[in-house]
């Protein structure tokens, strides 16, 4: 048996509301299947499962808000399922658990669980007015979430997302000693190559400059692995994969940064298709849980509306963010003369706990070098 | 396809990319980018939408001509006329 838990879809998430189950007891599931839809502050997310097996029991009913880590369902893993014949699924869904198990962890001692206290502070909820449902009347995270919902019209997604961004960014600036580096990169070769490439590509497979920039960053990370991973529990945990988070602004405001998985190993065409898909799903609210939780670095591209340089804020627990400004013609010295060249300002905001400026500089240098040979990307 | 039908098609594709836009109030000569926060990804999807719907090829070099409603309609009329002589 294995427990399928409410995943953390970003460091700023503490709870999620089960909106829809796509499985029922008796169903076979395999690793990567989307099994549920969870509503978070950043919108509705498709949640994937990481086990292969048979659904034994569903523990959290639709509509319930549970904290990260709460058990949502029980899965009989593939090996267990293979041994005895699968029993008939129960005729009716099991009675929902009346109380989310993890919410009250430790709350028996205190009247208000630490998570609930923290959440209440973030949401601006007065705890005096919240009735506790935990052991001994303790106020749980769930109670706070309910109180917050009651205090806020459910339609107010915008405000909820603002809160989520506020929490993550405040934590970033509070905890992460940022250092910042910048370099101007000559993109004339890359853009000329891109133009020629797009002339021969059918319209549905054309590339945007962003695909080149993302690939260059993903490849450059191989040379500076201390910028790719998470700062967790007082130490740096490097990631073997380059899952590049893409900062995507949503129409009408707000921001998500879902991950393009294994960006360093994908072709430009594949990366571009992935990016198009990601942007579209981000803007229609159907991102997947793995995309929301496992970006190992973020790339933000703010040049579209004319921004020259980006000074980024790291998305914790990541340790670096690469920003690109506007790609445009600028004066560029070549052999003692000034030429107009297409250039871009690349910047790095990095966590000084995990890396030093010298290593950060190597990343930008590597990005520059990679972009001078676009055909190899 | 007459101009009115073409306009309807273009606005429908626009609406699928930017659902928040009031299609009745689109300024015909103002660039989409300046009018409703269209970025290059939106623009690419717009071009792909036109390509799929109208079965015309749009070279990347022509993208700037699609940037505002009136220019876009004029370009598409020409492209459609070229396609079916």
Note whether B44 contacts A276, CB cutoff 8 Å.
Answer: yes
Distance between CA atoms of residues A212 and A190, nearest Å: 8
CB contact under 8 A, A251 and B47: no
What is the arrangement of strands in the sheet containing A71-77, beginning at the earlier edge strand?
A2-5, A71-77, A53-58, A28-29
Distance CA A321, CA A315 (A): 8
Helices B40-54 and B69-83 meet at what angle, rounded to 10? 30
Concatenate the DSSP letters of all residues of B7-76 into one string: HHHHHHHHHHH-TTS-GGG--TTS-HHHHH---HHHHHHHHHHHHHHH-----GGGGGGGSSHHHHHHHH
**Mutual angle of helices A141-151 and A114-123, in 10-degree steps:** 20
pLDDT at A128 over 80: no
How close A199 comes to chain B (CA, Å)? 7
Nearest to A15, CA basis, from A98, A123, A94: A123
**CB-count exposure of residue B81 (10 Å: 0-12, 13-18, 19+):** exposed
| Residues in A touching B54 (Cβ below 8 Å) | none
Q: What residue in B sits closest to A253 (Cα-Cα)? A: B37
DSSP code, position A134 = S
Instruction: Indicate yes or no: CB of A195 within 8 angstroms of CB of B60.
Output: yes
Q: Which of A277-286, B24-33, B58-67 has the lowest mean pLDDT?
A: A277-286
Domains within chain A, CATH numbers bracketed: 1-175 (2.40.50.100), 178-376 (3.30.559.10)
How far, in Å, are A151, B13, B17, B36, B45 from residue B23 at the CA level?
Answer: 34, 10, 12, 11, 17
Q: Do A252 and B39 touch (CB under 8 A)?
A: no
Three-state secondary-structure class, residue A5: strand
CA distance A117 to A128: 11
Inform me whether the C-beta atom of residue B59 falls under 8 Å from chain A C-beta atoms.
Answer: yes
Predicted confidence (pLDDT) at residue A85 exceeds the cutoff of 60: no
Q: How many CB atoms lie within 10 A of CB A210?
A: 22
Burial label, A281 (beta-carbon count in 10 A; 0-12, 13-18, 19+) = middle
d(CA A199, CA A184): 27
Give the SS3 label for residue A106.
coil
Q: Please, which residues have CB within 8 angstroms of residue B57's CB and are 6 or more apart in sequence?
A: A203, B51
Task: Report the gap between the CA of B48 and the closest CA in chain A (Å).
Answer: 6
In chain B, which residues have their Cβ closer than 8 Å to the Cβ of A208?
40-41, 44
Per-residue pLDDT at A63: 84
Write the CB contacts of A170 (distance below 8 Å, at least 6 apart in sequence).
none
A204 to B48: CB separation less than 8 angstroms, yes or no: yes
A203 lies within 8 A of chain B by CB: yes
Rounded distance between C-alpha atoms, residue A245 and residue A252, angstroms: 21
DSSP code of residue A359 = H
Q: What is the pLDDT of residues B19-58, one digit of tens each?
A: 888 888 999 999 998 888 888 899 999 999 999 999 998 9
Asked whether residue A88 carries a pLDDT value surpassing 90, the answer given is no
What pLDDT is stored for residue A80 in this prediction? 67
Residue A264 has what pLDDT? 96
Calculate how close chain B gets to A205, using CA atoms only, in Å: 9
**Cβ contacts of A204 on chain B, cutoff 8 Å:** 48, 51
For A148-169, what is the mean pLDDT?
71
* Domains in chain B, CATH or no CATH each: 3-83 (1.10.1200.10)
Tell me the pLDDT band of A249, cut-offs 50, 70 and 90: confident
Decide if A92 touches B, using CB distance below 8 A.
Answer: no
Interface contact B22, partner A, CB < 8 A: no
- Estimate the crossing angle of helix B69-83 against helix B3-17, to 10 degrees: 120
Preceding peptide of A317 cis, ω within 30°: yes
Q: Average the pLDDT over each of A165-174, A279-288, B34-43 and give the range with the smallest value.
A: A279-288
Q: Contact A112/A125 with Cβ under 8 angstroms?
A: no
As a whole number of angstroms, the distance between CA A371 and CA A322 comes to: 15
pLDDT band at A135 (very low <50, low <70, confident <90, very high): low
What's the rounded Cα separation, in Å, for the pair A246 and A256? 8
Under 8 Å CB-to-CB from A163, ≥6 apart: which residues? Answer: A41, A122, A123
Which chain A residue shows the shortest CA-CA distance from B58? Answer: A203
Quick check: B39 and A276 CB within 8 A?
no
pLDDT at A150 over 60: no
For residue A251, the chain B residues in CB contact (below 8 A) are 18-20, 37
Q: Report the DSSP beta bridge partners of residue A287.
A: A45
Q: How far is B77 from chain A (nearest CA, A)?
A: 19
Average pLDDT over residues A243-259: 88
* Interface touch B19/A251, C-beta < 8 Å: yes
The residue ranges of DSSP E strands in A34-113, in sequence order, are: 34-40, 43-48, 53-58, 65-67, 71-77
Residue A209: list chain B partners with CB under 8 A: 40
**B47: which chain A residues are within 8 Å (Cβ-Cβ)?**
203
Q: Please tell me if residue B85 touches chain A, with a CB cutoff of 8 Å.
A: no
Alpha-carbon distance of A135 to A103, in angstroms, equals 10
Mutate which: A158, A196, A201, A203, vs B, most B CBs within 10 A: A203
Distance, CA of A90 to chain centre? 36
Report the pLDDT averaged over residues A216-225. 98
* Cα dist from A160 to A6, A202, A370, whole Å: 19, 40, 39
pLDDT for position A214 = 97
Q: How far is CA A176 from CA A183, A318, A349, in A?
A: 22, 10, 10
Instruction: Find chain B residues with C-beta within 8 A of A199's C-beta.
Output: 59-61
Question: pTM here?
Answer: 0.73
Q: Which of A197, A200, A251 to mutate to test the interface with B (most CBs of B within 10 A)?
A: A251
Whether the CB-CB separation of B48 and A203 falls below 8 Å is answered with: yes
Q: What distance in Å separates the CA atoms of residue A366 and residue A352, rounded to the nearest whole number?
A: 19
Within 8 A by CB and 6+ apart from A23, the residues are A29, A33, A35, A36, A55, A58, A73
Please provide the average confidence, as pLDDT, over all residues in chain B: 90
């Amino acid at each position: 048996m294995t427990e399928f838990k409410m995943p953390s879809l970003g460091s700023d998430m503490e709870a999620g509301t089960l909106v829809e189950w796509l499985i029922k007891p008796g169903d076979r599931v395999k690793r990567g299947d989307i099994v549920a839809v969870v509503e978070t502050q950043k919108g509705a997310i498709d949640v994937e499962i990481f086990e292969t097996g048979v659904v034994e029991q569903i523990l959290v009913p639709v509509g319930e808000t549970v904290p990260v880590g709460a058990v949502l369902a029980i899965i009989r893993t593939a090996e267990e399922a293979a041994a005895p014949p699968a029993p008939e699924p129960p005729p009716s869904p099991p009675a929902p658990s009346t109380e989310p198990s993890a919410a009250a962890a430790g709350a028996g001692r205190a009247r208000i669980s630490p998570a609930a206290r923290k959440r209440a502070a973030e949401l601006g909820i007065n705890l005096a007015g919240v009735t506790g449902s935990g052991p001994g009347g303790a106020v749980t995270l769930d109670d706070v979430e309910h109180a917050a919902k009651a205090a806020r019209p459910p339609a107010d997604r915008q405000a909820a997302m603002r809160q989520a961004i506020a929490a993550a960014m405040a934590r970033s600036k509070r905890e992460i000693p940022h250092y910042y580096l910048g370099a101007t990169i000559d993109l004339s070769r890359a853009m000329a190559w891109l133009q020629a490439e797009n002339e021969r590509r059918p319209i549905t497979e054309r590339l945007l400059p962003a695909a080149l920039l993302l690939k260059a960053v993903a490849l450059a990370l191989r040379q500076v692995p201390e910028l790719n991973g998470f700062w967790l529990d007082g130490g740096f945990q490097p990631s073997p994969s380059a899952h590049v988070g893409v900062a995507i602004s949503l129409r009408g405001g707000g921001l998500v940064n879902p991950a393009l998985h294994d960006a360093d190993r994908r072709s430009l065409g594949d990366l571009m298709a992935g990016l198009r898909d990601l942007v579209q799903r981000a803007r229609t609210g159907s991102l997947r849980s793995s995309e929301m939780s496992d970006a190992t670095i973020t790339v933000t591209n703010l040049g579209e509306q004319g921004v020259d340089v980006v000074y980024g804020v790291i998305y914790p627990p990541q340790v670096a963010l690469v920003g690109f400004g506007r790609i445009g013609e600028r004066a560029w010295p070549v052999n003692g003369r000034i030429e107009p060249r297409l250039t871009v300002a690349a910047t790095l905001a990095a966590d000084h706990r995990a890396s030093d400026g010298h290593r950060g500089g190597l990343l930008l240098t590597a990005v520059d070098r990679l972009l001078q040979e676009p055909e190899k990307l | 396809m007459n101009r009115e039908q073409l306009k309807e098609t273009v606005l429908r594709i626009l609406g699928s990319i930017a659902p928040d836009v009031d299609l009745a109030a689109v300024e015909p000569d103002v660039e989409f980018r300046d009018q409703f926060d269209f970025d290059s990804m939106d623009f690419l999807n717009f071009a792909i939408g036109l390509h799929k719907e109208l079965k015309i090829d749009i070279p990347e070099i022509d993208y700037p001509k699609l940037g505002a409603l009136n220019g876009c309609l004029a370009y598409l009329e020409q492209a459609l006329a070229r396609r079916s002589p």
